[in-house]
Structure 1
């Protein structure tokens, strides 16, 4: 079983909500870049990149990075590992990352000669300092619970001992949401010893200035260990939360690139001349962020399986995708998208209004009238529209519902504290399914009123067994079987009503190159866009 360590209410509500949540916001073909920068990469130039929001800080052991935070972090820090274009873990700042046969001991060999921006050596002692600082953090330490100890066995060699087999440990070193252990900061600044808004890493760009909610500016690291990189003289990140404002800024020439999780961005730039558009809709490994209705199974009437089945049968996910996401977002019928090795013939209920009516009638014969379902949403036009659409679907099956609006600042507390019946949101994007284990484990559940990462409060021994097998199995076939079992059990217990996948995209001016599938240090190509995260290390300007 995935363990649950004691954690304070304030810590979990502060960090747990930030790491898990995104504002709720038939698959179409993935957009292919309409225009690529021509010519060869050249040294010089500047890039202004608009992100979805501001990062709370850039200390890997003190700040939980969201998608914008990861984009910032990749410019300042090196990661120990990266995902290649096929979704496989590959060394990055590490020279090698090797498990023993049982995956209970991992040996990390570092590249010699690397240094941090402040001149400190990038060695095994520095990596150990970073790992131990994250393990000591109240929330980040939960994600790293299987680690027993870290040992420096040589100047460039770190050994990580596990309490149990952990086959997916290397995926936590790749620098994606839920996997920030791989970012390595100068040991003089990590944890509580430095300013989270003055980061010091070993990455391609060096801190220049940070004006909160306006811009972060970084300049070229002239001593970067990757020969010839970076190309750019300067990178500036501008947080622009409103997607339409980001799009207009790109068209006006105020920015050079943007990322988005809004289908409108794909629809707006698909076919528009003068821009490069790419998305991750066709990516089938890992897990996508899924827009869904989460159900608190510990609260009546949702503690009755028939009610949850009725809600699933009454929800037309295909219509949802067409109306809310312009038909661009793949419809989901489980935790994993179609095409994933973890997706199997699923028992998830098909859209069937008549069956939903029968389930409601059966419930009401035994327990009396079904009360309206209270649905928590954020106070955004998108959430309000989404609720209105779902409310109409459920009403056709005889299920009434009422919105409960909360602010973005209070959303995480309501969710993780169990102060809701149903909630619309987007969740679970990850490079590897193990990174979401705490959100399904019985050990992460708690009574309503107490913070819990298992926010649906669903306790299920079969799910716990599947999570343990997926974490400990070292073979691809065994992991596939474990996560298929997890998916099937979730679709039987129904703590979630699945809707569609979040459509991430990257849009740039035509003279911007190097963001899509950048080169890895040892050859091959890195995954250029996953869950809205990109790497500016190899970015360049054609003019």
Structure 2
């Protein structure tokens, strides 16, 4: 999950990647990917090479440049791959490039492609394909995670070398290039129109789209031309739509699915200790958050926002919804990302006397009525909303909860059709800019994560941080930004959960990433 699940989110949001789950179905077998799956996780025919993954939202688009929500992003990254990527610890690693160099002045980035790279259609990958892909991303007017460096040129000195020249240094560039949005596609879309290409895409990733229902399941098959020899270890990957979390858990227990993308935190202990189930975890780049629409007359008032933040006890929210699997968030920047001030920031939190002082200083000292927008089916979000509702009542603010289906939720917050919403914000790559720019740049793709928040001083600081080399000066800039955001409260960070995937015990080799995605190429079913 910059510029949303994905903060450049958000991966919004945005995530809604965590969006939800709840109740039924104990059938011992069901149709998955065209074969009947038994309670052992193996198909009835003995085929153990199909992995079925329960997800709470369908894949609606595979355009890597215009998408940001996790339902799409974490399908896109199975098809397209970037020059560099990151591991489960957030370390940048070479991917389609076998090596890279950055000039001493920070203005030239040179990538050398791996030998023998092919697209899934068998055609060779060349530097010209990478140049085309990055230039298309630059030119995309609706880019969700745009390349914001001041790029002078992207060229291919030879068929194995990609060179990016900048007009001025841009510290997050290498990390930004690790985004799924910087995956490589064939030059000129292989002769197709852009729309036709993304309807049946060709990439370098471990999987190829086989069958796609935009309101239901998506089935991938193995890319026979994948550059990692002998991988993937499974022949088919099925993204199965299971909107109800309880149903997803039941299907995992009975072997109808092999994994759950976003198991509810209340189920983790049960699944971790189950006879046939287990969990895999990673550090978190995700923060679940209340967002205020600062274009709304009530939440344009900083005293109103501070009153609600002071009225709420975030530790109580974390305790109520996480079952010990999350940390209370005091800043927008997750602790797992460098320059987070989680341990030093002064949050606006849990002080009812100050909450009453703030509401008294606002334009609405006698209170008002408003609504919290949330995606239905997410028990954790529902509980958090109820806790804010109760806290707000103590300062005379009556909040109603507006629970809608996930598709409506996404369309509404992206249209700024809300007053308060609860959503997840996640970094897409391992740099503080991934969160800060996405959530605090009023001119960016998401308009400060769909809050319309604007502070010229914060904007200037985040732009300066983008060109400041890593070190104390950059750390100081992010410290100031985080404290200002905490003081002005365009959003209330709530908690950062462990990144957790629930699996059958016979699943081996799944790599869980801190942006909430996973890698399947090493997966085998025992």
Q: Secondary structure at the match of 1:486?
A: helix
Residues in 2 aligned to 1:458 and 1:318: alpha-carbon distance in whole angstroms: 25
CA change 1:72–1:141 in 2 (3 A) is: closer
CA change 1:231–1:189 in 2 (3 A) is: farther
Q: Does 1:353 align with 2:356?
A: no
Q: Secondary structure at the match of 1:260?
A: coil
Answer yes or no: is the 8 Å Cα contact 2:253–2:276 preserved in 1.
Answer: no
Match of 1:234 in 2: 236
Residues in 2 aligned to 1:380 and 1:258: alpha-carbon distance in whole angstroms: 15
Residues in 2 aligned to 1:442 and 1:214: alpha-carbon distance in whole angstroms: 34
1:513 corresponds to which of 488, 508, 511: 508
CA drift of 1:368 comes to 5.0
2:49 corresponds to which of 45, 48, 55: 45
Match of 1:306 in 2: 303
Match of 1:277 in 2: 279
What are the within-5 Å matches in structure 2 for residues 76-475 of structure 1?
76-140=79-143, 143-146=146-149, 147-175=151-179, 179-185=180-186, 187-188=189-190, 192=194, 194-260=196-262, 262-280=264-282, 282-283=283-284, 287-288=285-286, 290-338=287-335, 340-344=337-341, 345-363=344-362, 368-380=365-377, 382=379, 383-431=381-429, 432-436=431-435, 437-444=437-444, 452-475=447-470
Residues in 1 aligned to 2:372 and 2:61: alpha-carbon distance in whole angstroms: 32
Residues in 2 aligned to 1:238 and 1:124: alpha-carbon distance in whole angstroms: 35
Answer yes or no: is the 8 Å Cα contact 1:342–1:484 preserved in 2.
Answer: yes
Answer yes or no: is the 8 Å Cα contact 1:275–1:507 preserved in 2.
Answer: yes
Match of 2:25 in 1: none
Answer yes or no: is the 8 Å Cα contact 1:442–1:461 preserved in 2.
Answer: no
CA change 1:337–1:216 in 2 (3 A) is: closer
Residues in 2 aligned to 1:191 and 1:89: alpha-carbon distance in whole angstroms: 33
CA change 1:407–1:226 in 2 (3 A) is: closer
CA change 1:64–1:478 in 2 (3 A) is: same
Residues in 2 aligned to 1:151 and 1:58: alpha-carbon distance in whole angstroms: 26
TM-score by length of 1: 0.80
Match of 2:521 in 1: 537
CA drift of 1:74 comes to 3.8
2:13 corresponds to which of 4, 7, 20: 20
| Aligned residue pair count | 487
Answer yes or no: is the 8 Å Cα contact 2:68–2:145 preserved in 1.
Answer: no
Q: Secondary structure at the match of 2:181?
A: coil
2:61 corresponds to which of 41, 57, 62: 57
For each residue in 1:95-144, what CA deviation from the matched residue of structure 2 results, as whole angstroms up to 9, or x when unmatched?
A: 12332234333222211221112232211111112112222222217611
Answer yes or no: is the 8 Å Cα contact 1:80–1:94 preserved in 2.
Answer: yes
Match of 1:31 in 2: none
CA drift of 1:232 comes to 2.4
CA drift of 1:413 comes to 4.6
CA change 1:185–1:276 in 2 (3 A) is: farther
CA change 1:384–1:298 in 2 (3 A) is: same
Residues in 1 aligned to 2:330 and 2:307: alpha-carbon distance in whole angstroms: 15
CA drift of 1:163 comes to 4.4
For each residue in 1:181-230, what CA deviation from the matched residue of structure 2 results, as whole angstroms up to 9, or x when unmatched?
A: 13445741776163424221123334433344444333333333223322
CA change 1:102–1:507 in 2 (3 A) is: same
Answer yes or no: is the 8 Å Cα contact 1:278–1:507 preserved in 2.
Answer: yes
Gaps of 5+ in 2: 20-40, 42-46
Query: Which stretches of structure 1, 4 residues or more, deviate above 6 A after TM superposition?
Result: 15-18
Residues in 1 aligned to 2:457 and 2:382: alpha-carbon distance in whole angstroms: 36
Residues in 1 aligned to 2:360 and 2:69: alpha-carbon distance in whole angstroms: 43
For each residue in 1:439-463, what CA deviation from the matched residue of structure 2 results, as whole angstroms up to 9, or x when unmatched?
A: 3114349xxxxx8455222221221
Answer yes or no: is the 8 Å Cα contact 1:259–1:504 preserved in 2.
Answer: no
CA change 1:325–1:535 in 2 (3 A) is: same
CA change 1:316–1:202 in 2 (3 A) is: same
Residues in 2 aligned to 1:71 and 1:456: alpha-carbon distance in whole angstroms: 25
CA change 1:420–1:48 in 2 (3 A) is: closer
Residues in 1 aligned to 2:9 and 2:301: alpha-carbon distance in whole angstroms: 27
Residues in 2 aligned to 1:86 and 1:138: alpha-carbon distance in whole angstroms: 32
Residues in 1 aligned to 2:67 and 2:288: alpha-carbon distance in whole angstroms: 21
